[in-house]
Amino acid sequence: MGLRMGWHRGIDYIRRRLFGSRQSLFAKMNLLIVILFIPIILMYSYSNDVALNVVSKELQMSNTRQLTFLSGQIESRIKQMMDFTISFSKDPNVKTFNGLQIWGDRYDRMQTRYAVQEKMVLQSGIVNIWPARYTVYSQQNQDLISNFSNDSKYDDTYLTGNVSSNWVYRHGQSPKAGEPKAFYWLYTDNFGQQGVIRGSSLVVEASFSNENIQNMLDSYKAGGQRETVFYHKGEAPILNRTANQKLIHELIPALDEMTLGDTNQQVIQLDGKSYLLSSIKSPNLNWYLVDVVALEQVLGPISYSRDLFYFTMVLLFVVGITASILLYRNVQRPIKQLIGGLQRVKRGDFTVRIYSKDSSEFSFLFHRFNEMSRQIQDLIENVLNEKLRAREATLKQLQAQINPHFLYNCLGYIINMAQMKEEEAVVSMAHNLSAYYRYTTRMEKETATLSEEVKLLVNYLDIQKLRNGRIDYHIDMPEPMLAQHVPRLLLQPIVENAVIHGIGKTYSSGAIQIVGEFSERYCTIYVDDDGPGMTAEDEEALNRKMLEPLQEEMGCGLWNTNQRIMHQFGGSSFLHFTKSPLGGFRTVIQWELPADEQDRLKKAEKGDN
């Protein structure tokens, strides 16, 4: 159940990564290649490990069987020698040779010696691979008979010093220079007390040289790549005749450090390589038959197959990644270029063009995209020019609407002052009207500096002050702000509104305050009066009407002013009405500086710092 849930979670994760994510096609393809390779490599690694384990166990079992067979052959040869020695000691001719019976004449003695020697020679020649040496010692006759050329003489000291119930690896009675050691077993049976010499005993000596072991080892090694030695700690090992001396030189010290049991099998490191070491103890000789096999030789084909598979996987992975890269360069990158171009077009950049050095299907798409972008750019430029012309006409129309509005008020004032015989006021008004029309009739420019607008306000407020002595005005504009260009007659309608609807509706008010604020991004002008003001509901209604089309019941002065600054400076500019700190009505005029002006101010500020 848990395995099934884990499998489903893994499939769900792969599905989300491949189909539910926003990763690029290149990343998804590479992820898919990795996902395809992972189970193949895991399954092969698992099967390869299983194969290695099976082969390793089979190798161990095979080595054990073969080594056991070789040990059995050696033990069989030794047992044959021991059985022959025991039965030979009871042979009548052997007993006759020991003088236990009455000897005949000289011819009979010669016949007895010949019969004894012939039996030993026949026994030794049964197996050519295992020549055996036998010698019969007669203590009573102080004589010996051998089946080989023996230069030794009868020696009681030799017999008493070497008789034993076990095989011994040593030199013979009369060793020659350079003669190697051999295995010896001296047998005597004195009425059930084996191994005891009483002075009239018959002793049979059985021996074989280390060449017998070498013959067996050579036969065992024939056709194989193993190294087999006959080992006993403290003695020179018996090797096969084609032994690897370098390997044996490293093997013997390693064996000296081990504690070997009757059977032993382990992996050791020799000459920087791994070897399987197997050993079996010889019960008769108390030596160890040791076999070492290079695992690389046995497991080499499997390792080679594994390495070849991994190399193939790496090659396929490189081919897959290369194909993915080619797909990325020839498909995904052009698609990304198209997407980037479309995004730039979406942001309003119609100058974007896409070019390709390769001649492919995407070259046609790039050509069509460039053509489309060029046509859209031409269309946008035409529409923009048309909008600019329409905007210019609208500004002129709005300005034309404001000029009569102001004229009506001024003419009404002149009429009133003339009726009141206020010649000075009439002259002053006429003078101001002359200056006003001189200012407004300069239609070659649709904008003016704020400094020129302030001069017009001063002129206008002086006229109103002549009419109403309660009027007291204050104008405070930052010096950098006076150089800003604004639409003509921007402030006059607002100040006029403060005079007529603020101060003109009460006899207790008369203060008008015009204050400007200047920042790196915005210009703001506050026009305040201390008149009765408006309720919060009326202020909200008036602010809402500024965003609606012009209505007949609403005066056009404030609405036109709001439209002009929006047309001139953009949608982030506005006209807003709220309660004044003076207690009356406040009009807030704010417009955003052009981008080039903002950059100039930032550079100027950095230069000052």
Percent of the chain with pLDDT over 90: 8
State the average pLDDT for the chain.
79
pLDDT at 164 over 90: no
Over residues 22-44, mean pLDDT? 74
Q: How would residue 551 be classed by pLDDT, with cut points 50, 70 and 90?
A: low
Is 442 a residue whose pLDDT tops 70? no
pTM of the entire structure? Answer: 0.49
Gap between the Cα atoms of 583 and 196, Å rounded: 145
More confident residue, 356 or 167: 167
Higher local confidence (pLDDT), 115 or 124? 115
**What was the pLDDT predicted at 430?**
80
Average pLDDT, integer, range 217-221? 84
89-103, 361-375, 400-414, 556-570, range with the lowest pLDDT: 400-414
Q: What is the mean pLDDT of residues 429-437?
A: 73
Q: Which band of pLDDT confidence, cut at 50, 70 and 90, is reported for residue 385? A: low
Across 50-54, 355-359, 368-372, 478-482, which has the greatest mean pLDDT? 478-482
Concatenated DSSP letters for 168-185? EEE--SSPPTTPPPEEEE
Cα–Cα distance measured from residue 142 to residue 319, given in angstroms and rounded to the nearest whole number: 91
- How far is the CA of 207 from the CAs of 23, 55, 78, 161, 431, in angstroms? 85, 41, 9, 16, 155
- Going from N- to C-terminal start, the domains of the chain cover 62-301, 448-608
Query: Per-residue pLDDT tens for 119-133?
Result: 888 877 665 678 888
Return the pLDDT at 589. 93
The single residue listed with the structure tokens 């056991």 is: 68
191 conformational bin, left if phi > 0, alpha if psi -120 to 50, beta if neither: left
Where does 62-301 sit in CATH, by number?
Answer: 3.30.450.220
pLDDT of residue 194: 53
In this predicted structure, which of 24-38, 80-94, 479-493 has the lowest mean pLDDT?
Answer: 24-38
Per-residue confidence band for 318, with pLDDT thresholds at 50, 70 and 90: confident
Residues of the chain with pLDDT > 70, as a percent, come to 81
Where is pLDDT greater, at 309 or 182?
182
The pLDDT of residue 402 is: 53
Domains 62-301 and 448-608 share a fold: no
Of these ranges, 259-268, 324-333, 416-425, the one predicted with the greatest mean pLDDT is 259-268
| Least confident piece of the model among 326-330, 529-533, 598-602 | 326-330
Backbone angle region of 272, left / alpha / beta, with phi > 0 → left and psi within -120 to 50 → alpha: left
- CB count within 10 Å of CB 103 equals 12
CATH number (3.50.50.60, 3.40.50.620, 3.30.565.10, 3.40.50.1820) of 448-608 reads: 3.30.565.10
Assess whether pLDDT exceeds 90 at residue 586: yes
Q: What pLDDT, on the 0 to 100 scale, is given for residue 3?
A: 47
**pLDDT bucket at 595, cuts 50 / 70 / 90:** confident
Of the listed ranges 83-87, 377-381, 511-515, the least confidently predicted one is 377-381
Instruction: Please report which confidence band the pLDDT of residue 197 belongs to, taking 50, 70 and 90 as the band edges.
Output: low
The pLDDT of residue 215 is 87
What angle, rounded to 10 degrees, do the helices at 25-89 and 2-19 form?
Answer: 140
| Region class of 180: left (phi > 0), else alpha (psi between -120 and 50), else beta | beta
**Local confidence band at 26 (pLDDT 50, 70, 90 cut-offs):** low
What average pLDDT score do residues 452-459 get? 86
pLDDT at 440: 60
Q: Which pLDDT tens digit goes with each residue over 53-106? A: 777 777 778 788 888 888 898 899 889 888 888 888 888 888 878 765 545 567
Q: Could you tell me the sign of the dihedral formed by the alpha carbons of 257, 258, 260, 265, in that order?
A: negative
